[in-house]
């Protein structure tokens, strides 16, 4: 039930951002299954999925890119690892301030 409400809130935010009338929000489907089959959900889920894929590809390609630019493999691995540590710290600090 909590997941359905979060998805509904996300769909509501998307509808507000795209200028959908608030009256349509009242008609928005309830329940996780209904929301998962809605057009608004897929309009949000699609770009977010491709964005995550692009970030993942960038991380995978970072070591070869740095090696090609003159770094040793050890330095390139350290740079990638420091990026992961930074992401972990950022997520942890953001979670504390919610």
Please give the average per-residue pLDDT across 79-90, as a whole number: 87
Residues 6+ apart with CB under 8 A from 25: 12, 15
Alpha carbon distance 50, 35 (integer Å): 20
Residue 53: is its pLDDT beyond 60? yes
**1 band by pLDDT with thresholds 50, 70 and 90:** very low
Query: Is position 94 within any domain?
Result: yes
Residue 24: is its pLDDT beyond 90? no
Query: Is position 69 within any domain?
Result: yes
DSSP 27: T
Burial readout 62-93 (b: 16 or more C-beta within 10 A, e: otherwise): ebeebeeeeeeeeebeeeeeeeeeeeeeeeee
Q: How many domains does the chain have?
A: 1
Query: Is position 28 within any domain?
Result: no
Query: Is position 15 within any domain?
Result: no
Query: Is position 72 within any domain?
Result: yes
- Look at 56 and 5; give whichever has higher pLDDT: 56
Contact predicate 38/11, CB 8 Å:
yes
């Amino acid at each position: 039930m909590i997941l359905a409400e979060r998805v509904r809130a996300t769909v509501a935010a998307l509808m507000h951002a795209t200028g959908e009338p608030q009256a349509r929000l009242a008609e928005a489907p309830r329940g996780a299954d209904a929301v998962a089959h809605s057009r608004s959900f897929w309009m949000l889920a699609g770009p977010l999925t491709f964005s995550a894929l692009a970030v993942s590809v960038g991380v995978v390609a970072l070591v070869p890119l740095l090696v090609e630019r003159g770094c040793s493999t050890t330095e390139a691995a350290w740079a990638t690892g420091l990026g992961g540590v930074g992401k972990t710290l950022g997520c942890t600090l953001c979670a504390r301030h919610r």
